[in-house]
Amino acid sequence: MRYLVTGAAGFIGSHLSEALRAQGHDVVGLDCFTDYYDIALKEENARGQEILRLVWRQERAAGEVASHFDVSRPAISKHLRILREAGLVQERRSGTQRLYTARAEPLLEMRRFLESFWDEGLLAIKEAAEAGSKGPGDHDPT
């Protein structure tokens, strides 16, 4: 399924996007990079999402991950450390290399949590629509 996530570079939107991608969904992210929020912070959130995508299906060395970005290796290492500390990736050492792969379970838990809001919202819409169909202009034929 394809989802549109507004505010995708923000804290909630970036995590929602990551959770949906973890489930194999296509995600289109939309955000506005204005000076209302720190643009650098939004760019970092977007970069963190891309790092997670890179290590989602394949274990990758930190250097290989860094080669996909136009930022310093220490900046990528910082992202990987934050993702590891958040429990979203796991690190394995092989000699001098640090290899990273994504951990699906935390993202699946987040998705289940967020979907509960979606289910509640759809139920509320359904109930409102059903209640509205028995408004003052409707007549019960019985």
Instruction: Give the pLDDT of residue 120.
Output: 77
Q: How many Å from the N-terminal Cα to the C-terminal Cα in the chain?
A: 43
* Range from 19-28, 70-79, 107-116 that averages highest in pLDDT: 70-79
Instruction: Give the pLDDT of residue 125.
Output: 80
Residues 14-29: tens digit of each pLDDT: 888 888 888 888 887 7
DSSP state string for 9-65? TSHHHHHHHHHHHHTT-EEEEE----TTS-HHHHHHHHHHHHHHHHTTSS-EEHHHH
More confident site: 30 or 64: 64
pLDDT over 70 at 136, yes or no = no
Show me where the domains of the chain are located. Answer: 2-115
Classified by CATH at the fold level, domain 2-115 comes out as: Arc Repressor Mutant, subunit A (1.10.10)
State whether residue 91 is helix, strand or coil.
strand
**What mean pLDDT, rounded, does the chain reach?**
81
Instruction: Give the pLDDT of residue 60.
Output: 96
